[in-house]
Amino acid sequence: MTDLNHLERDLLTQVEAAGDEAALETVRVAALGKKGSVSELLKTLGAMTPEERKERGPLINGLRDRVQGAIAAKKESLAEAALEARLAAERIDVTLPVPEAPESRGRIHPISQVIEELTAIFADMGFSVAEGPDIETDYLNFTALNFPEGHPAREMHDTFFLAPDEKGERKVLRTHTSPVQIRTMMAQKPPIRVIIPGRTYRHDSDQTHTPMFHQVEGLVIDKQANIAHMKWILEEFCKAFFEVDQVKMRFRPSFFPFTEPSAEVDIQCSRKGGEIRFGEGNDWLEILGCGMVHPNVLRNCGLDPDEYQGFAWGMGIDRIAMLKYGMPDLRPFFEADVRWLNHYGFRPLDIPSLVGGLTA
């Protein structure tokens, strides 16, 4: 009896000390396995006399039952402890904001977004996108576009000129995307319908001007292209881009070397409450310049102005982005401030379309 009590205390101590299910299983096998200490005692019952079996049997069976019970209780306790630890490790604070999926954490820069919007609008009108180099020749940037010698745009304080090459020719960081118009007219025969988005460079730096900025120009060359076509295209663009049902436009006579006649275009707006709204109000805001392509430009591109005519327009992408999305200063566009980009940027999968909405 003393030996059984000692064995029971020893086994129950081992059960209680088991730190995990693997350790508990080791104790179970040592006690109740095929060659376990309790199992060996049970085997001795067969060799006892009936009187000894009657006396020792209940004691050994009782030991087995108590050890089995202790093991079962300990196993349940270990399972509950493991569950509590798992729940504590995987606890979710429901008061925290839901984290964004990896594919939506980035942001599209407003310039890239507006270029996509422009492309979607003009592609619907049958325009393709043309591109050209940022470093241009003096001829393509000025001479071919009917800029006379001595024009202010050719001065160093207005334009970034590169050092002369071995031939003495000075390349220039293009001051507008108009050289791509020349390249397009030289490379393909009319009819031509293209838009030209891209970077341009000028000596300007203030709240609404930067040394590098973005511009988009449009060009149509055909035998019957006229001002009425141009006015319709620009009106449809403004309605689609600013997402208004109607808009009034005002064409004021102006001068550009590469177009004749030329015009500045104002768009109807309201400035009430310090906020600019288009398609309403009695104010006007200039947004672009346009005109009929000058006959000299057509001749410089090898086109007969008696057979072909066309029109062109240009506007600042940064400027119309500021107007549409309420950005008061141009300089943060180029400062790479992640906070600014998170506020004004666009989700990467929100691709502009006329069907789904430009700013859906």
Q: Give the residue numbers of the binding site.
A: 260
For 337-344, the CB contacts below 8 A with 24+ separation are 341/107, 341/109, 342/107, 344/110
The structure tokens 């768009």 sit at 267
Helices (H) and strands (E) in the chain, counts: 11, 10
Asked whether 271 and 304 are in contact (CB, 8 A), the reply is no
- End-to-end CA distance of the chain: give it in Å, rounded: 84
211 contact partners, CB below 8 Å, separation of at least 6: 160, 201, 202, 203, 204, 205
Asked whether 22 and 78 are in contact (CB, 8 A), the reply is no
> How much is the CA Rg of the chain, to the nearest whole Å?
41
CA separation for the pair 173, 212 (Å, rounded): 10
DSSP string covering 212-269: EEEEEEEEEEESS--HHHHHHHHHHHHHHHHT-S---EEEEEEEETTEEEEEEEEEEE
Coil, strand, or helix at residue 78? helix
Token digits of residue 111: 């310039």
CA separation for the pair 235, 217 (Å, rounded): 15
Annotated binding-site residues for Mg(2+) read 260
> Of all residues in the chain, what percent are helix, strand and coil, respectively (each to 5)?
45, 20, 35
Report the residue count for the chain: 360
